[in-house]
Structure 1
């Protein structure tokens, strides 16, 4: 099956908006004592919370991810592959770059700690470098559940997403009414899982046979979101704001579920004209490199903020008009341009490392028919737990190294790699009493 350019476009578009959104709301202030603080724009200038409706694009990640995973798992099953082999390859593709990124950030945190950097500053920097990690454990969990979710899709089709959504609404009601935080953890898988499951339905044509289906999703989801914000307890912000309770993202709320459905519907409505545009080589040449570098952009996009802060704010060179003023918004344009130039340099500098990781992936990715998989499942569980902890507390909680999450991520990634290395070794070994085949 030929690659769907529109799915790749969604990934590229989503990553661009994530990067721009994080950069846009990042505000830096140099205090009289020389410290750099980062006031929360969404809390300080409340009207900016409406901007999150344009920049909360994560439903597209999961929708496109479900579309791609449905096709990949179907092909693996048809070729005789196992769930463990399929999952191991997908997990390792994420864990290798995440492991390298985390190792370098933790090394920098350790050096800064020894050098006597202020603990508060170190904690802020460590949080900024891990703020995007929440996506990774959720995506890994959905990947691990893909064989079961896709089996449910093959049997019940369009009935699965509404059922998942109904369970998510019950869980969210418990979170809002009786404050059951651990029940809310289910919504990370259920709400984002609805978008993922809709990706299966989209790929198999269940959502695109009639134009009324995506139109109903967009209108119904949008109306439900508006009602939940206007009449219910939910805020308009689709990004976490300190002090807001309930939040739409921590855990994902009923309002976020409505936004998932609305955004998926809009995405399906936009597909035909955008696909026609992507058939032009000039448009595809712009989209393709962004999609290819999406993981690098996602992981490293806050590093330019730190570099610019050190170059312009620590030195006192950056102008600092009042937060949210017309002058402050005017300076967002050069701010975004400078960050874009720095990020382009970072991506270019990481090129050799990315190529090395590609070679390592080919040598350590599990065999498609992997069956002895307990190290894989253990490694995946350790990695998910470690990434979740880093996402919540950052790389320098209270200015200290997060030893347990760091060790957990390292061991988890190593176990997944070991699974792949062991399966490759078994393939290289000839069966007893049989000469190896000549190539």
Structure 2
């Protein structure tokens, strides 16, 4: 069996755990004045921070993305493709579904603000709908850097992620010990870039066998344990309010250790998982999840808002004490109801995805793009900045409509689309709205 199937499994497994983790730690309450409150579970019950070790699975996204990108760029390079053409095609596959999602959420924000919805509530909802956006500008930037990163990989191999990791450690020391927080933004690219670069190594077979993955798993796991036990780093792999030092914002050296350990474990279990994936019954379950990864990633918090309005805003939901046995027991129907609603959302979005597939096929840049390359690079920069603003401040900062980020995302997406040819008929609708996250090696 080719490696493609295992990469698709990693993507599907990662998206399931991300969605499940976000749902599990979301705590809602019916407030005394009829509003919905959302206490921060990880802060109220610090013991639950250990759960993040199970659900912080983003290294697998970047590992699978690097594996897929390496194969895609190699094929494009051999066929005479340019960096701008290749990057532009991948950017369009991410920006189209993200733009539709953002446009619909922003429309709802504008209508709600005009109707006089409480600014605090609107801000909280806007943040919930944008909490996953941190991934998008980082992935866009790594995609844009892929031609350079892959050239370095072909020349120096595993030494590239080793150097990136060493620089990331230096940056984290400056942030934590030196108090220079502004340089921490570099670790978004360096730490997640290590996982992405290891995806290149994985594709070339440099992580096969037991020795290298075993060393990665053991060294990464031991380093994480020591950094948490002896250093200033918390066990939580999600930012928790009140913690002076976090592991994700920006990614810390402890997160780097977790990336290395998770990549090692992923490779150690690969042979057993591949044998399972050879069974067509198993594959028929895994493949649709991987195929819907972008939709699931973007829309998975909408069911939370639906159930919040239906059960918590109305006061219909039972409310045992947060963290009590009764509260944990109610997590089971909570998760099941969310899964049902999300399945309905995915089904409802199928016509939209088919339409986006046609738009993608008509507007994607040509592989050998040269004229108009400036539009791709400028559009990527503007889009990444706008997505970063949404990730930090949400879709309704202080209950207001975010005019500049909204215009930035629209302008950035338009610039990337501008680089594509006009008047080309749709040849295929197979690309879909889930292109970036579902793309196989």
CA root-mean-square deviation:
1.2
Within the alignment, does 1:152 sit opposite 2:156 as a pair? Answer: no
Residue 437 (structure 2) aligns with: none
Residue 103 (structure 2) aligns with: 103
Residue 433 (structure 2) aligns with: none
Within the alignment, does 1:23 sit opposite 2:26 as a pair? Answer: no
Residue 231 (structure 2) aligns with: 232
Within the alignment, does 1:249 sit opposite 2:265 as a pair? Answer: no
Greater Cα radius of gyration, structure 1 or 2: 1
The 2-side partners of 1:335 and 1:128 are apart by: 17
Conserved 8 A contact 2:66-2:195: yes
Conserved 8 A contact 1:366-1:423: no
Residue 422 of structure 1: CA displacement? Answer: 5.3
Residue 424 of structure 1: CA displacement? Answer: 5.8
Residue 329 of structure 1: CA displacement? Answer: 0.3
The 1-side partners of 2:3 and 2:348 are apart by: 29
Residue 401 (structure 1) aligns with: 401
Residue 428 (structure 2) aligns with: none
Conserved 8 A contact 2:5-2:277: yes
Residue 421 of structure 1: CA displacement? Answer: 2.9
Residue 222 of structure 1: CA displacement? Answer: 0.1
Give matches, 1:162-173, under 5 Å.
162-173=162-173
The 2-side partners of 1:266 and 1:221 are apart by: 10
The 2-side partners of 1:338 and 1:207 are apart by: 40
Residue 177 of structure 1: CA displacement? Answer: 1.1
Give matches, 1:111-122, under 5 Å.
111-122=111-122
Within the alignment, does 1:132 sit opposite 2:132 as a pair? Answer: yes
Cα deviation, 1:247-270, whole Å, max 9, x if unaligned, reads: 000000000000000000000001
The 1-side partners of 2:62 and 2:305 are apart by: 29
SS at match of 1:237: coil
Conserved 8 A contact 1:172-1:253: yes
The 1-side partners of 2:421 and 2:79 are apart by: 21
Unaligned stretches of 5+ in structure 2? 426-441
Conserved 8 A contact 1:367-1:423: no
SS at match of 1:266: helix
Residue 46 (structure 1) aligns with: 46
Give matches, 1:7-406, under 5 Å.
7-208=7-208, 210-372=209-371, 373-406=373-406
Closer/same/farther in 2, CA of residues 379 and 424 from structure 1, 3 Å limit: farther
SS at match of 1:367: coil
The 1-side partners of 2:166 and 2:177 are apart by: 16
Cα deviation, 1:331-373, whole Å, max 9, x if unaligned, reads: 0000000000000000000010000000000000000000120
The 2-side partners of 1:422 and 1:88 are apart by: 15
Conserved 8 A contact 1:366-1:424: no
Conserved 8 A contact 1:129-1:303: yes
The 2-side partners of 1:311 and 1:192 are apart by: 38
The 1-side partners of 2:199 and 2:269 are apart by: 15
Conserved 8 A contact 2:82-2:367: yes
Residue 2 of structure 1: CA displacement? Answer: 5.3
Conserved 8 A contact 2:168-2:190: yes
The 2-side partners of 1:134 and 1:21 are apart by: 16
Matched residue count: 424
Conserved 8 A contact 2:240-2:246: yes
Relative to the length of structure 2, the TM-score reads: 0.95
Conserved 8 A contact 2:362-2:423: no
The 1-side partners of 2:236 and 2:2 are apart by: 38
Conserved 8 A contact 1:165-1:190: yes
Relative to the length of structure 1, the TM-score reads: 0.95
